[in-house]
Amino acid sequence: MADMINLKINNIPVSVPAGSTILDAARVAHIEIPTLCYLKDVACVGSCRMCLVEATGARGLVAACVYPVSEGMEVQTNTEKCRKSRKTSLELMLSKHKKECLACERAGNCELQRLSVEYNCDPNRFEQDTERHPLDLSAPYVVRDRDKCINCNRCVAACKKQAVGAIGPIGRGYAVHIGSAFEMSLMESVCVGCGQCIVACPVGALKERTTVDEVWAAIGDPSKKVVFFTAPSVRATLGEAFEQPVGTNVEGKMVAAIRRLGNVEVFNMDITADLTIMEEAAELLNRIQNGGVLPMFTSCCPAWVKFVEQKHPEMIPHLSTCKSPQEMFGGLLKTYYCEKHGIDPKDLYVVSVIPCTAKKYECKRPEMNGEVDAAITTRELARMIKTAGIKFNDLPEESFDDPFATCSGGGTIFGATGGVMEAALRVAAKTLDGDFEVIDFPEVRGTTPIKEATYNVAGKTIRVAVASGLSNAEEILKGIKDGTRNYDFVEIMACPGGCVNGGGQPTLPDSIRNSLDLKDLRAQALYSSDSNNELRRSSDSPVIETIYGEYFGAPNGEKAHKILHTHYKADPRV
């Protein structure tokens, strides 16, 4: 057990493990010290100077997020000296900040705005920097506004943590700013579009490239039939945008809200998560039985795919050829659904609701044939619901529309790290051994960055690994290349914790992000839904049975391969 350190914070006795910071100790005492550059598990550099406190034994004010506690230390967090320093720091930030709060998507949910109000700041105390820079609109997934940036470096830390390094500080002193190497645009950089920089940003300097106006236009166009489908994790996070507790499953209200946006149908993307598993499990077994390229990597995460294309092109043959559930649904709707209902595909407007900014890039890839017309994030859906004046929390529970309503629990857990692996194992094991009845694979669950397991099925040994966060993917790839890691199947999700922690999920106040395990609470909602579902395997879904019976024939068959699979190639820019 770690040695304990005894100290006082605002005269409150506290005991914390050795190595803790003053900020850690303050939380134990239920005292909130303001921060801007600090973000749990992402950034801790002490650069914003908002967490300055007075501590015995220290010369002057110290940054609570990095300053270690010591035995007998006494800390004061709210003295006049502390408050005055924080207010000055805020007013200096405001002198460079483009103050467009009335039209900023982070209005009311901006850490800088909140602190400025709390400290009664004068936004014009210091001479205003009026130099303005153009928005970076080069990427289809992220918009960068340099003039709103406060140089907290949280986005830089998030990008570095992802082993991407697309952005960093440029220049020195007053002229320092965040950008890509050689001032290139985001689309020219090595950015993979994961969006972790967006959820790390405390202000509105980074946001998704919105397509909400196009979706509203399609809903209002009488010549268009509009269909929405929602990714598995959205039901576990959308409620946060309406002040519901983290981890609340709002599936029924989500469906009801979308239906009230206009004359639209609402489908369940868990269906094509099930479809992805059927195709992916068949592909894996084919590779194992016929000497195919192993290990096989999942391909449902477009940021991960882009990461491989850019940094590890020699590993492209290891990627599954399966499209993601988003693109499978687009292909299914523009073929099977349109043929079944006599709809011209050009008159069908397909909207996916996703937790991921990289999906915006994915649906623009030429390999995807424009099968998804617009991909909107959980945040964008929440804004549409609010714009429409829909009282979300008062809505009744409603069900998805047929024929794409009934899914298996395996499709639902796709949104959590390890979920794709577990869903695939359920089907692959049953296919190899008809008597194999195990449903739960706890070894691949949880938010541990890298998980490994070995299973013996029908005399075959299947070695698997799961990683979330691209730095952990990098570690997996290194081991595979040097021969220290040997697997048959590997699941990778770009975002730490999987889609539940995607770059398109609701932006929550630092006080919540720094005190709760969002990844775990959101994932629990999905696993609960899975355990309560009578259908646990993707192969048990009657919708999947109908789709193959009426249209595709068999997993990995000729028709299925044409519509549900794709190819990848090395990025020529790197």
Catalytic residues: 280, 283, 300, 320, 359, 362, 367, 499
Q: Are 251 and 235 in contact (CB under 8 A)?
A: yes
366 φ/ψ sector (left φ>0, alpha ψ -120 to 50, else beta): alpha
**Nearby residues of 16 by Cβ (< 8 Å), 6 or more positions away:** 4, 5, 7, 24, 25, 28, 69
Separation of alpha carbons 312 and 300, rounded Å? 17
User: In 37-48, which positions are buried (b, 16+ CB within 10 angstroms) versus exposed (e)?
Assistant: bbbbbbbbebbb
Q: CA-to-CA distance for 230 and 323, rounded, in angstroms?
A: 16
Closest by CA to 380, choosing from 197, 506, 512, is 506
Q: Which residues pair with 492 in a beta bridge?
A: 467
DSSP 8-state assignment for residue 322: B
Residues 6+ apart with CB under 8 A from 519: 417, 447, 496, 497, 498, 500, 501
CA 366, CA 569: separation in Å to the nearest integer? 12
Give the β-pairing of 374-377 and 264-268. unpaired
Say how far apart CA 190 and CA 169 lie, in whole Å: 16
C-alpha separations of 425 from 165, 412, 439, 488 in Å: 34, 15, 9, 12
User: What is the residue whose two structure tokens read 């922690």?
Assistant: 501
The contacts of residue 419 (CB under 8 Å, 6+ apart) are 232, 410, 412, 413, 498, 526
Q: How many other β-carbons are positioned within 10 Å of the β-carbon of residue 87?
A: 18
Q: Do residues 83 and 20 lie in contact, with contact meaning Cβ atoms separated by under 8 Å?
A: no
Q: Is 280 exposed, middle or buried (0-12, 13-18, 19+ CB in 10 A)?
A: buried
CA–CA distance, 570 with 574 (Å, rounded to integer): 8
Q: What crossing angle do the helices spanning 325-332 and 270-290 adopt, rounded to 10°? A: 110
CA atoms of 178 and 171, how far apart (whole Å):
9
- Nearby residues of 324 by Cβ (< 8 Å), 6 or more positions away: 276, 299, 300, 301, 302, 359, 362
